[in-house]
Every structure is written in structure tokens, then in C-alpha cells.
Amino acid sequence: MARQQDTGAAGEQIARRFLEEKGYAILEQNWRYRRAEVDLIARHGKTLVFVEVKTRSSTAFGEIEDFVTRHKESLLAAAAHAYIDLIDHDWEVRFDIIAVLYLDEKSYSVKHLEDAFFPGL
């Protein structure tokens, strides 16, 4: 279990750096609302971006991004609603997935899926 948590934390840091290098401003990391946790909340131009980061050490069981379930999407939507209310949001909203294939600190790949889903805000 500790290995999975370490891999997940490494993936989130990789995703954060990836977005920052692309000009995203990270507003929150691991923001919690009730049972939901949003891995990253960022601003990119005038768009508020809620990012789910999925990290795996293999794609043997399928594409990493396919592990974001409808249930997780609905939890993210509820958290997004709460965050939007909290900051008095006036930007566009987008839900992205970042899939990290992580072998070690120097061997990984990142796939960024913009507008990966829209849970019906």
C-alpha cells in the first residue's frame, strides 16, 4: 500500500510541474470537499481547470485515464460546485485528466487529456 501511495504522490508532483511548465497557475492541490478530493485546481488563462491525476506503473490492465469512473466524475463535479461558490467563480470551467505512467523519478510519461469529461455542472 505504501508503494501505491508513493507512486500516486510522485505522479501528482509530476503533473503539477507539467502544468506549471505549460503556464498553468496552480490554485490548490489535494483540495477536499466532503468525500471528494480534487488532485489539482488550476487557472489557465480565463479557464478554471479541475484535474484528476491517475498514476500507474503499467498499462497492462488498460489505459490509465480509463480508471476515472463515472462515480469519481460526479464527486469531482460536486467538489467543483463547492469551489466555484467559494471563490465566486467567473471563468470557464474544464475537467482534465493527467495520466502518468511512472517507473521511477527519471522514467515516466505524461498524457494530458483536456476536456476529458463534462459532468454536467
SS3 label, residue 114: strand
Quote the number of domains for the chain: 1
In tens, the pLDDT along 61-102 reads 888 888 898 999 999 999 999 999 999 887 799 999 999 999
CB 77 within 8 A of CB 66: no
Q: What is the CATH number of the domain that holds 96?
A: 3.40.1350.10
- Measuring CA to CA, which residue among 76, 102, 79 is closest to residue 10? 102
pTM greater than 0.85: yes
Cα angle value 20/25/26 (rounded, 5°): 85
Of 3 and 75, more confident: 75
Helix or strand (DSSP H, E) at 96: strand 92-104
Identify the domain containing residue 28 by its residue range.
Answer: 2-117
